[in-house]
Structures are given as C-alpha cells and as structure tokens.
Amino acid sequence: MDDKTYTRLIDCAAGRIPADLVLKNTKIIHVYTRDIVPGNVAIIDGHIAGIGDNYAGRIETDLEGKYLSPGFIEGHIHIESSMLTPQQFAAAVIPHGTTTVICDPHEIANVSGIPGIHFMLDQNSPLEIYAMAPSCVPATHMETNGANLSAAAIEEILSHPRVIGLAEMMNFPGIVEALPEVLQKTLLAINSNRLLDGHAPGLTGKGLQAYVAAGISSDHECTELSEAMEKIRAGMAIFIREGSTAHNLEELLPILRSEAARHCLLVTDDRHADDLVEHGHLDHILRRAVSMGADPITAIQMVTLNVAKHFGLTKNGAIIPGAKANLVVLEDLCSFTVSNVFIAGKERASEGSIHTKIPEISLKEVSPEIQSSVKIIPETLDLTLPATEGKIRVIGCTEGQLVTEHLLLEPKIKNGLLVSDPERDILKIAVIERHQGSQQIGIGFVQGLGIKNGAIASTVAHDSHNLVVVGSSDKAMMLAIKEISALQGGLVVSGDSKIHASLPLPVAGLMSTESADVVCHSLHRLHRKLGKIETCVKNPFMLLSFLALPVIPRLKITDKGLVDVEKFELVSIQEQKKE
C-alpha cells in the first residue's frame, strides 16, 4: 500500500473523506467475537475503512438486512483437479463466495515443473490465488514423471511473491527418519519463515511427534476423530476435507462442536468441474456442516478467520478496519445462498453469476512445454503379456475407496498370453510413460471396474499423471490410447472399433480451456457413454485416477510396473512362492 492510499484509508476511517462504497443495512458476521451485529461497512481503495452507522459513500448500497460475511478462503486445493484453468476455476467459484485460494500446484508440477507452477500463478483473474511450493516432485522413485523439483528449484519457487510456504510433505517417513535430502527442503521453508503443510495419513505416536517437531504445521489426511485429536494436541491445524474425492466431514464433525474447531479449516482438496457447477464450492461444505448440526458461525470461521490466521494472511478473513474488502452477502446461514460477492471492494458476482467476464486463455497462449505433454507413439506399444504359471497379482478396487486390495487370482490365458477376463471382472490395466517419450509401460490386472465391452483411458493419474488405460480387450485399450495421444491428454471411453466419448484436456493433460459449464457437460456425456461398455462403477475415471498412486496401499501400478505399497517396492505380476 502506497503512502497516498494509506492516508486515504485513515482519513476515510476517521470520517474526513467519503468512502468509495458503503454497504448499508446488513447483519455483519464478526468472526472474532462470534456474534452478528447490524451495521454498515465503509470501503475505500479496496479496503474496509470502518464499521458504523455514520459513514457516507460515493455509492451506498442497501443490503436489505442480509448477512455480510468475510470472503471464503479455500485453504487447500489442487486447482488442476477441477480440470479447469485458473481463470475458468475463478469464474466457477467466485459466484459461490470464494474470494481467495491457497492451492498446491502439485499436479501440474509433476508434468511441467516450474513453468507449470508459473502457469497456475500468472493467470489474470479477480480471484486471489496463493500457492504452496510442491514438496514431493516426483512423489516416489517407482514412477516416471515430467519434472524433478530439487531443493534448489523449491528455493526458486519460494521466491515468488504469492508462494507462501511448502506444500503437503507427503514423504512423512523421510521426515521421521530425518533423511538429509528431505530435510533440505523443509529447512528452506523454515529458514525463510514459511509455513510447512503436512500429509501424514495414520501417523501417530513418536512418528507424529517427530513430524511435528520438524515444523510441519497441518494435516488434511485425518479420517478418524482420534487421529485428528491427537494431531491437534500436538499443535497441528487439521484441514477437514469435503471434496469430490474424500469426504471426512461427517466423521470429524464432533471437532466442530468443540474448542478444537478454532484450530481447524474446512477444505475441498479436490473439486471437480461438475461438482462446482451443480453443488458449489465452500458454500457447499458450509451447507453440509450446518445440516449436520454444526454452528454456522463456527463453520464460517473455518473458511475465513482460521484460514487467514494459519497462513498469515493478515489482511484477510475478517470484517475489520484495514482488511481487504473481500466480502460475501448471504441470504441466510442455513442454505448459504450467495447474493453478492465483493473482491477488493468491487462487486464481482451476484445472484450466482460472475459480473466481470474473465479473459479466456486459448491454446495458442499456452507454452508448448505445457500444451504438448503426451509424448507417446501408440504404434510402438505392445500391450501383450506372456502367460505365466500359477496365480497372478491383481489390484482389487472398490468405488469410493483409495485403498486397494492385493489379490492373487488365476488368470485367463489365450494363445500363450495373459488376457482380460470380463466375465470374472479381471481386466488388463496399463500405465504408459507420457512425459519423456520412453514408451515405458507397466502392465497388470485389476478387478472392480466391471467393464464388459470396451476401455477407458485418462492422463489424470495421480501423482505422475502418466496415461492409464483399462479395458476388456487390447484392441479397445489401443484405440483409447490413440485417441488420448491425438487429443494431447484427456478422458476417453472406447469400444473395440469406435470412440464413444472423450473430454480433451490439452493443458498439461490435466485441464481444459473451456468453461466449467462446458466441461461439466462433457463429463456428463462421458458418464452416459459408460453404459456402452457396461461398467458396474458410477465413476470409473475417479477410481482409475488413483490406481497409479503408489503411496496409498496396497497394490498399485505405475509405468515401471506393479507396486506393493506396503513393502514400497516393485513386484512381478506372478505370485512368488517365497516372498
């Protein structure tokens, strides 16, 4: 803030000059005192000057007794998982009251490294986007990704003015074991007074104590109340997830009724485009929490003040003099229907619609290293597997669960090859390296997707985002691979002889340049066409995206092959007698 703006703010607060805007006749939600007081709010140069009845403004708007809340702040999200560019994501969430986002650009960093992070941060929109520097790129040594963020690279990322800390430290064993290469990254954040976010599912006892002693400040992986409370007692902030993938709010709801709530945030982690369009963003979590019996002011604190305090955003999160005028007008504190949204004192949305058209980005504006990320030559691929004696390892998956089973089943053999067996729901799955053009491929089998006649494929495959494909036949799988390669990333539903539907994601193989409405429509079409391949799963793409994630038990697959996550090692497809 320059001298002139600073002086104007004080003069306006003191009543010596008029405000740019006064919001009158509103019920102000005071998150510091947990009460609601009728009043007016004066705004000048994008900041709140004062709260009171005697302010005059060049523009005065009567809010007719509606509630006025601080703008909602998303404390942890991977924007890429919405399949939208930052601009289109902003257009989708601002009408739902979100004014600020702290993102972890971990997904695009695994594809494009530092240029990908800059792509996420340097897009122009009214939404305030901050980021945490991705800490684990690549996530493991058992997969191939598109970049390697060393300690030196993280130091460069931390120098960006809107990078405020180190993102979720998934390698919690490395922290607990005090591995030098891991601690080198955390020390960079600590020595620059930056925050360190955590990711430590199930970590308790002395391991948890070591993790917190290392400076890790938060965790968003709690699925049980006892785990969350132990971590809060250790001084951690708990991010309670209620997104498109993970739903932890119901289990952790007792926290919202306790004093511990002031140490907690409500976050989405992942929020897909169709959920944004049909259900909303943080307003959806607020509705869910209150419908389960949570106090509405407590819930609002967990998407405003608590987030701002945790991340050190001192000008955000409350309706107080000097704060940014990021404000949300609400019809009530039950449905959380958003009437108006102000960011930096300007009205950006009303009645569910964005006001200022956010500039779209065309593919011509996306650098080649981010746009052309699928370096696969389908004609060189071989999906066959020679038959082996005995049982084979099969990934057992269940809809709604990220943890898989490590099954041992008799395979179907045809012409000396291991093949898909749709009748027993044992389907071939392949992960193909797409970043470096190596054509490396890991092949295995999966049970639980129930595809009878076709294949699905995707370049959204956490964390390395290689191309993953599963199907009832090699022919259908190859057709899907060719389509994804031609699209330069996306989601595909394929039959043996034709493509039933596809959603192009040409930006790093993760995002579309289209609006949330268009992406939502394409997702619905994909899901309708799933009937053509007779899958038994409502959203097989969700399951597919996590089958290549070798940090969640038990059996997963990467471009390097099958991974026994519990042993944290690559294993052969054939059952070993002495293992």
pLDDT (tens digit per residue) in 518-574: 999 999 999 999 999 999 888 899 899 999 999 888 999 999 999 998 888 999 998
- Please give the full DSSP string across 424-452, using - where no structure is assigned: GTBEEEEEE--SSS---EEEEEEESS---
Q: Are 77 and 269 in contact (CB under 8 A)?
A: yes
Rounded to whole angstroms, the Cα distance separating 54 from 16 reads 12
Nearest to 251 by CA among 263, 242, 264, 262: 242
Q: How confident is the model at residue 236 (pLDDT cuts 50, 70, 90)?
A: very high
Q: How far is CA 282 from CA 135, 338, 473, in A?
A: 25, 11, 41
Q: What is the helix, strand, coil percentage profile of the chain, to 5? A: 30, 30, 40
Which amino acid, one-letter code, is at 538?
K
How many helices (H) and strands (E) are present in the chain, helices listed first?
A: 17, 30
Q: How confident is the model over 14-28, as pLDDT tens digits?
A: 999 999 999 999 999
198-227 confidence digits (pLDDT tens): 999 889 999 999 999 999 999 999 999 999
Rounded CA separation 57/38 (Å): 18
Dump pLDDT digits (tens) for 46-83.
Answer: 999 999 989 999 999 999 999 999 999 999 999 999 99
pLDDT classification of 577: cutoffs 50, 70, 90: low
For residue 100, the cross-strand partners are 73, 128
* Rg of the chain (C-alpha set): 25
pLDDT per residue as tens digits for the range 339-355: 999 999 999 999 888 87
Q: Show the domains of the chain with their CATH numbers.
A: 3-65 (2.30.40.10), 76-320 (3.20.20.140), 369-571 (no CATH)
**pLDDT value at residue 579:** 45
